[in-house]
Amino acid sequence: MSGEEYAGAGAADDGTDRLVGPEADSDESAVEAALRPKELSEFIGQPKVREQLDLVLKAARQRHGTADHVLLSGAPGLGKTTLSMIIAAEMGAPIRITSGPAIQHAGDLAAILSSLQEGEILFLDEIHRMSRPAEEMLYMAMEDFRVDVIVGKGPGATAIPLELPPFTLVGATTRAGLLPPPLRDRFGFTAHMEFYEPAELEQVVHRSARLLEVRTDAEGAAEIAGRSRGTPRIANRLLRRVRDYAQVKADGVIDREIASRALGVYEVDERGLDRLDRAVLGALVKLFGGGPVGLSTLSVAVGEERETVEEVAEPFLVREGLLARTPRGRIATPAAWDHLGMARPPQAHGRPDSPAGPGQAGLFGE
Ligand SMILES: Nc1ncnc2c1ncn2[C@@H]1O[C@H](COP(=O)(O)OP(=O)(O)OP(=O)(O)O)[C@@H](O)[C@H]1O
Ligand SMILES: [Mg+2]
């Protein structure tokens, strides 16, 4: 690997605090709150989810009742928390916010449930990380608006039934597959949030630019959108970095040139790959001829932990069709060569139509 290339990710070593990471940074909550759409009509993209949710909420309002329980599933940064708040706003109801990991004991959940007002929205983030006893209590609460509070221990323990006011549970999860079916089945409506189209992210950038009082032209917004990995949170974050650049290095107006130069400084390329992504792809292509190569070998080559490569870099590379995971190891797709601006080898091992010879798997396979 040549000198200018990847030599460990520094601050991004464990994959946190990446400019293109989908999770929220620790100091991001205030600015995120300021940029959240407040009503359904302001929520950009996800047309199906919006249409369906609109029906669920309108019908509940017409009946003067509470809405069915809603499960929001989707990758980080796609708008689950935002939608939960919109649900409360649209219903004109208060919202109580908690999360699976915050509920250690069934008693914690009982305390929350018993203090809800009628019609209140209970937002349970990371619902897949709730403890089993709490989960079981939740089943009954969702279905019958009732919980059994256990008083005492051992043979003398008694269950005291407690009536709950009707409420709407809004659960959010990045891992819908991890939810036990009985829990999943108790939601009346499940919204699957998809990654956003570039045109939708452009709208997100324009909207946020307006709120942040930054001037952006159409091409500038498109440039930021194209690098945002289908994720509004990343679009907003990139916009903030480009705004800094425009302010310090130019007249404050964001156009294509400024956006491109700014994101060049942060090493986020035209497709949204950062240093780590390109290091993984570069090693795969340049050192291993496109693979197949085992995850451990690839990780050593880029100087990262296996987990960082597998969980931080690879998901996006796979989604973009640049890298594939095969039983023999990782392979680069033809698009990887194109993206790195390299000529595809005539017999690229990574080409799905020309798998590597048997020797290759023995050498590098897991
Ligand atoms: N459809 C949208 N339109 C405009 N902005 C959006 C949209 N979806 C998300 N955002 C913005 O993206 C940011 C992240 O959204 P949000 O916090 O709702 O994501 P999340 O799905 O809850 O993520 P996590 O899984 O990490 O909790 C917010 O600042 C929000 O304003
Ligand atoms: Mg959230």
- Dump pLDDT digits (tens) for 4-26: 444 444 444 455 578 999 999 88
| Preceding peptide of 355 cis, ω within 30° | no
Cα dihedral 60→64→68→74 (10° resolution): 60
Q: Are 296 and 366 in contact (CB under 8 A)?
A: yes
Beta strand 323-326 with 329-332 is antiparallel
pTM recorded for the entire structure: 0.89
Which residue of the set 18, 66, 80, 269 is catalytic?
Answer: 80
Residues 194-208 pLDDT 10s: 999 999 999 999 999
Q: What integer pLDDT is reported at residue 309 of this predicted model?
A: 96
Tokens of 108: 């914690």
Q: Is residue 92 left, alpha or beta, with left meaning phi > 0 and alpha meaning psi from -120 to 50?
A: left
Distance 231 CA to ligand 1 centre (A): 8
Residue among 81, 127, 240 to mutate when testing ligand 1 (max atoms within 8 A of CB): 81
Interval between CA 124 and ligand 2 midpoint (Å): 10
- For the Cβ of 231 lying below 6 angstroms from any atom of ligand 1, the answer is no
- For atom 26 of ligand 1, the residue with the nearest CA is 76
pLDDT at 347: 63
Q: Is the bond preceding 94 in cis, omega lying within 30 degrees of 0?
A: no
Which tokens sit at 123? 């937002």
Q: Quick: pLDDT tens for 313-326.
A: 999 999 999 999 99
Reading phi first (left if > 0) and then psi (alpha if -120 to 50, else beta), residue 355 is in beta
24 Cα nearest atom in ligand 1:
26
**66 a catalytic residue:** no
Q: Is 21 in the pocket of ligand 1 (CB under 6 A)?
A: no
Looking at residue 8, its pLDDT comes to 46
Q: Does 35 sit in the ligand 1 pocket, CB within 6 Å? A: yes
Separation between Cα atoms, residue 73 and residue 71, nearest integer Å: 6
**Residue 125: active-site member:** yes
Determine the distance separating the centroid of ligand 2 and the alpha carbon of 96, expressed in angstroms: 14
- Give 10-residue mean pLDDT values along the chain (366 residues): 44 64 88 93 96 97 96 97 97 97 92 95 96 93 92 88 96 93 94 96 98 96 97 97 95 95 96 96 96 96 96 95 96 95 73 45 42
CB-ligand 1 contact for 23 (6 Å cutoff): yes
Q: What residue ranges define each of the domains in the chain, with the CATH number in brackets?
A: 46-192 (3.40.50.300), 198-265 (1.10.8.60), 274-364 (1.10.10.10)
**Ligand 1 closest atom vs CA 74:** 21
Our answer on whether the CB atom of 174 is closer than 6 Å to any ligand 1 atom is yes
Ligand 1 pocket member 100 (CB < 6 A): no
Q: Please confirm, yes or no, whether 174 is among the known catalytic residues.
A: yes
80 noted as active-site residue = yes
Q: Which of 72, 233, 234, 237 to mutate to test the pocket of ligand 1 (most atoms within 8 A of CB)?
A: 233
Neighbours of ion ligand 2 (CB under 5 A): 80-81
Q: Is residue 78 in contact with ligand 1, taking CB distance under 6 Å?
A: yes
- Which of 174, 231, 297, 308 is catalytic? The answer is 174
Whole-angstrom distance, CA of residue 354 vs CA of residue 179: 39
pLDDT recorded at residue 356: 44
